[in-house]
Amino acid sequence: MKPVHTIAAVVGLVMSVSAASADVTASSSTDPLGQIERNVLGLFSSERAALQAVPASRLRAITAPMRQDRTSDGIYTSQWLAAQPAPRRTAEWECMTEALYFEARGESLRGQFAVAEVILNRRDSASYPGSICGVINQGSGARNACQFSYNCDGKPERITETAVYDRLGKVADAMISGRAPRALTHGATHYHTTAVNPSWASQYERTAHIGDHLFYRQYYPGRSASN
């Protein structure tokens, strides 16, 4: 090969390599996958910096598994109630079942359990009689002094819906025995229907609204109010 041809070949090779290198460089700068990768890395970097600025105690609170109170899961259903044993028909059970029948038989199952909660909350309060029957019958011998309105409405207490009564008897037994928790009214001691607005309602703390009933917790010592 003549020298002039050799020089031309070398120059051509160098130009070809340079051109190829230029193509590679140009294509890498416009590669969409490469750009996405750089964007993702940038996001991770920003996120890391943000997390480092959060106090450790806050991070633990954010990442801790959520605690769930599963105590009452599945209880307020017809299936759960049907599976409960036959009630122990004590005097306390009879008083509770009667009160639920006349006060809450038109309510949902949750509403019926909620009324039972109020009765038990009163029984356990020093402001009220210490028995279920005592709580339900309190004030029934004096005009306008009943704590449960069905005792003072002037109507005879006749139980005509026996299937409903039996169902409410299971609600009463589940609550009295403790198989069902007091998980609905947050310690309520009073309730009234949404159709009325008693004077005490503005003075007590409302804790729940279930069906047609509003529930309240009495927080003035020594105060009492009828439902």
Selection from 2-6, 87-91, 144-148 with the highest mean pLDDT: 87-91
**Across 67-76, 85-94, 140-149, 191-200, least confident range:** 67-76
pLDDT exceeds cutoff 50 at 81 = yes
The domain segmentation of the chain, as residue ranges, is 3-63, 78-217
Q: From residue 219, how far is each of 110, 129, 179, 203 by CA, in Å? A: 24, 17, 28, 9
Query: Locate tokens 């590679």: which residue?
Result: 24
User: Mean pLDDT throughout 78-97?
Assistant: 96
How confident is the model at residue 147, as a pLDDT?
Answer: 81
Mind listing the pLDDT tens digit for each residue in 15-66? 443 444 444 334 444 566 677 777 767 776 776 776 676 555 444 434 444 3
Q: From residue 220, how far is each of 51, 147, 186, 197 by CA, in Å? A: 47, 17, 16, 19
Q: Is residue 77 within 8 Å of 109, Cβ to Cβ? A: yes
Q: From residue 31, how far is each of 34, 64, 155 by CA, in Å? A: 5, 41, 86
pLDDT exceeds cutoff 90 at 88 = yes
How confident is the model at residue 114, as a pLDDT?
Answer: 97
* Tokens matching residue 119: 């009765």
How confident is the model at residue 223, as a pLDDT?
Answer: 47
How confident is the model at residue 72, as a pLDDT?
Answer: 61
Mind listing the pLDDT tens digit for each residue in 144-162? 668 888 888 777 789 999 9
pLDDT band at 85 (very low <50, low <70, confident <90, very high): very high
